[in-house]
Amino acid sequence: MSEHEQMAHEASARIAGAADLNALEAMRVEYLGKQGSISGLLKTLGKMSPDERQEKAPAIQSLRQTVADALTARKDELEAAELEARLATETLDLTLPAPAAPKGSVHPVSQVMDELAEIFADLGFAVATGPEIEDDWYNFTALNMPESHPARAMHDTFYFPDTAPKGGKMLLRTHTSPVQVRTMMAEGAPLRIIAPGRVYRSDSDATHTPMFHQIEGLVIDKGIHLGHLKWTLETFLKAFFETEDIVLRLRPSYFPFTEPSVEVDVGFAIENGKRILGGSGDEPGHGWMELLGSGMVNRRVIEFAGLDPDEWQGFAFGVGVDRLAMLKYGMDDLRAFFDGDTRWLSHYGFSPFDQPTLSAGVGAKA
């Protein structure tokens, strides 16, 4: 056995017998540390002639490797033993109650959107969607608001610098109405859809946030008239507010995409300083609250969407979902909806496991 093999043999035996991690570390320093004996041997290589180095280097390298391997192997053994020992002494008290897992809740906006989808499903409406980053053409032009139309100014639009494929700039949709056009183009007629979703306007105070939610309704068929619109809105609002006592007032209005256009008000009473929906707004102590915009789809919009307005007519409406949630569940500051404050969410949120089902899906009550 060469001198170096002898050293490797002895060192391996000592290392294998190291009693604990501290003893092992001391041995590592002794052999491989800066001042270690093997490090010393490695340093002598530098002073040798090339021939001598070629002769001696392999044996010294092999010694270093053997010792390093032995150190690693013993370290693994000692650590495993330490873990075993800990597991043997520590116990786990399985009778301790687990800390309560924080439970999320359904945001009132999601809850209301689900309720609306449920109500309109009963009336035969499918849910349609469209992009939030929208083309000027769908958001305005095809809704009968050409480039210079004054109604555009009322939308406080967020524009992107990018040019839109169909002209103008790309933008964040300011309403869900472009989904009307997209769905008519994609699916033709007849059609019965709602389109819930996020919309954006550069506006912020207690009742306006730059992002809010709308739900659009659209019916396209033959022989559709205002009576269908009024019945649909009444039926939906009674189901949503879970009361038969809903009185609507249709007021002439103007939207570029409907003709005629009506604004729909709902009657309320004041109880303990709070507005409670119900009854005619004309009764003493009552009032009318503006709730939504609607009307018969302008024939220009039907044409833009590629349908023949002499054959197809329809009605449309748009409602603020946040507003509906505030009215039904009694919140008064819209900004709190989007602050993400978990105290607000756990107060106003809904349990995903314990959904308060609508007592009156459409027709379920009677």
Which residues in 197-216 contact ligand DAH (CB under 6 A)? 216
**Interface segment toward ligand DAH; rule CB under 6 A; list 8-16, 289-297, 302-310, 356-364:** 289-297
Residue 140 contacts ligand DAH per CB under 6 A: no
Q: How far is CA 162 from CA 53, 169, 172, 258, 366, in A?
A: 69, 6, 12, 29, 53
Helix, coil or strand: residue 259: strand
Closest by alpha carbon to 319, among 119, 131, 124, 135?
Answer: 119
CB 328 within 8 A of CB 123: no
Which residues in 313-352 contact ligand DAH (CB under 6 A)? 316-318
Report the nearest approach of ligand DAH to the CB of residue 251 (Å): 12
Report the nearest approach of ligand DAH to the CB of residue 345 (Å): 27
For the chain, how many residues are written? 366
Residue 175 contacts ligand DAH per CB under 6 A: yes
Report the nearest approach of ligand DAH to the CB of residue 290 (Å): 11
Report the nearest approach of ligand DAH to the CB of residue 175 (Å): 3
One-letter amino acid for residue 303 of the chain = E
Residue 64 or 201 having the CB closest to ligand DAH: 201
Beta bridge partners of 318: 216, 293
CB 278 within 8 A of CB 268: yes
Report the nearest approach of ligand DAH to the CB of residue 95 (Å): 58
Residue 18 or 262 having the CB closest to ligand DAH: 262
Residue 152 contacts ligand DAH per CB under 6 A: no
Q: How far, in Å, CA of 348 to CA of 357, rounded?
A: 16
Report the nearest approach of ligand DAH to the CB of residue 244 (Å): 25
| Binding residue for ligand DAH, selected from 130, 178, 295, 314, defined by CB under 6 A | 295
Q: How far is CA 93 from CA 18, 96, 98, 105, 115, in A?
A: 35, 6, 11, 31, 45
Which positions touch ligand DAH (CB under 6 A)? 175, 177, 216, 255, 258, 293-295, 316-318
